[in-house]
Amino acid sequence: MPSTEPLESPAPRPAGRLGKALMRLLMKSAAVTAVERLSDSFRLITLEGAALRDLPWIAGQKVQVAMGSAFVARTYTPIDWDSTAGWTRILGYAHGSGPGSAWVRGLKAGDRCEFFGPRSSLDTRRLSGPLAVFGDETSLGLACALYRQDRTRSVACHFEVRDMEECAGAIAQLGLPDAGLTARQDGDTHVLELAATLPALAKAGASFVLTGKAGTIQKLRQSLRQLGVASARVVSKAYWAPGKTGLD
Ligand SMILES: Cc1cc2nc3c(=O)[nH]c(=O)nc-3n(C[C@H](O)[C@H](O)[C@H](O)COP(=O)(O)OP(=O)(O)OC[C@H]3O[C@@H](n4cnc5c(N)ncnc54)[C@H](O)[C@@H]3O)c2cc1C
């Protein structure tokens, strides 16, 4: 049975024969059947195979993809999951040169992919009312999953991003409606801009889903507290933090 321990240790072990053997033994294996290049940094990735069949999946769950070894993984959010046919899709964002970014950039149809999951991560099922989703490039997949799971529900998205044009293009191709984009600024001054959208959403009875950069989540949570939004109306999950690797 797969371990429930975090996959990353502070000093990841190199991908040796043991890591590869464990990967084959413990993880699910899928074929990469499509890699759609939405932009320089975004890839819409389809994984397919018998191991993806008959699995319960809910929007917000994660998969942990092996980066060549069971000891090094990076985490992604399925957009959808067809457990009858046996396929899922994730949206990979390559922000830099870490193993995850290299994997996203280098992946092609015909490759294999080993992963753990789907596993619980963020559960929005108890949230009522319209959803307000805050995040960044890494949150687009989650936003799609939430939007697709119930198209009658209002899902308003606000993303802090490095490249507004690139993200707007990716969002359009994904068919995500209603996304506000804010350009990242040095010193995070743009977070005030994001926070300025909160009072109207809070007044409208929205529930809040906060993902992406840890520091931004913290600031938005604080603003929501100051607005008197009950913690039962907020769920959050840090997807990355400066200086940390492989959060899950
Ligand atoms: C539950 C969960 C779900 C996730 N879902 C998705 C998803 O669907 N799609 C997706 O693309 N990512 C997703 N992520 C984020 C992704 O796992 C991280 O961005 C991951 O760190 C990227 O791996 P890396 O090897 O490129 O960088 P790492 O080696 O992990 O990080 C190196 C350094 O890069 C910086 N960094 C990391 N991520 C980012 C970033 N996004 N932007 C700017 N700087 C960064 C940090 O300073 C970090 O120390 C998710 C993360 C979690 C925890």
HEC profile of 35-82? EEECCCCEEEEEEECHHHCCCCCCCCCEEEEEEEECCEEEEECEEEEE
Which of the listed residues 77, 95, 148 should we mutate to test ligand 1's pocket, taking the one with most ligand atoms within 8 A of CB?
95
Q: Are 43 and 35 within 8 A, CB to CB?
A: yes
Q: Convert the pLDDT of each residue in 86-102 to its tens digit.
A: 999 999 999 999 999 99
For ligand 1, whether the C-beta of 100 sits within 6 Å is yes
Determine if ligand 1 sits within 6 Å of the CB of residue 102.
no
What pLDDT does 6 receive? 37
Give the pLDDT of residue 214.
Answer: 98
* pLDDT value, residue 15: 58
212 within ligand 1 shell (Cβ under 6 A): no
State if residue 111 touches ligand 1 by the CB under 6 angstroms criterion.
no
Q: What is the largest CA-CA distance in the chain?
A: 56
Positions in the chain whose pLDDT score sits under 50: 1-12
**pLDDT score for 5:** 37
Contacts with 222 (C-beta within 8 Å, 6 or more apart), sequence order: none
Dihedral, 49, 53, 56, 59 alpha carbons, nearest 10: 40
* pLDDT, position 38: 98
> What string of DSSP letters covers 162-174?
S-HHHHHHHHHHH
Taking the CA of residue 246 as reference, the ligand 1 atom at the shortest distance is 30
Kindly report, residue by residue over 140-149, the tens digit of the pLDDT.
Answer: 999 999 999 9
Ligand 1 near 239 CB (within 6 A) = yes
pLDDT at 4: 35
Please give the distance, rounded to the nearest whole angstrom, from the Cα atom of residue 240 to the centre of ligand 1.
5
Q: Is 78 in the pocket of ligand 1 (CB under 6 A)?
A: no
Query: From ligand 1's centre to the CA of 205, what distance in Å?
Result: 31
Ligand 1 atom closest to the CA of 77, numbered from 1:
8
pTM of the model: 0.93
Residue 230 burial (CB count, 10 A): 9
Nearest CA to ligand 1 atom 16: 75
Q: Which domains does the chain have, with CATH numbers?
A: 17-119 (2.40.30.10), 131-240 (3.40.50.80)
pLDDT of 10: 37
222 C-alpha to ligand 1 centroid (Å): 23
* Residue 12, pLDDT score: 44
